Copies of this chain bind each other. A is one copy, B any other.
Amino acid sequence: MTTIKKINHVAIVVRDIEESLKFWEEQLGLKLDHIEVVPTQHSRVAFIPVGDSEVELVQPTSSDSGLAAYLEKRGEGMHHICFEVDDIDAKLAELKEKGVRLINETAEVLPGRKMAFIHPKAGNGVLIELYQLTD
């Protein structure tokens, strides 16, 4: 069986990254690494390292994305948890063989990483992202 190495990040959907950083940085005491625009996910993402993992603040950049709809429906809060794996293609094949409902049956290839989502109906309502770093 393929290995799950660690929690890569926990993603939190927010309305406004700069406003939110007042809590995460100034009050809680974490430090922002950088902010990235991720056009394929219609979002801006603030990467905030914590130990060996990250907190990611994710802000929708278009009002008609799935993320924006989630934010309207559920409000701000934890959105997904991302596990880093050693071989995402093998992991997806394993999950598929076991009948686990996937959002992405094959990994999306981005610079530096491959990623896919498991459907929240598979795992106690939790949206799970899988990451394989490829750098």
- Are the C-beta atoms of A94 and B29 separated by less than 8 Å? yes
A52-B6 contact, Cβ under 8 Å, with A1-B29, A98-B27: yes
Number of copies: 2
- A47 CB to closest chain B CB (Å) equals 14
| A interface SS class | mixed
**Interface residues on chain A, number (Cβ under 8 Å):** 45
Over the window 93-135 of chain A, the binary record of Cβ atoms lying under 8 Å from chain B Cβ atoms (1 yes, 0 no) is 0110010100000000000000000101011111010000000
A31 to B106, CA, bound (A): 25
Q: Which residues of A contact B (CB under 8 A)?
A: 1-7, 10, 12-14, 20, 23-24, 26-30, 50-53, 55, 57, 75-78, 81, 83-84, 91, 94-95, 98, 100, 118, 120, 122-126, 128
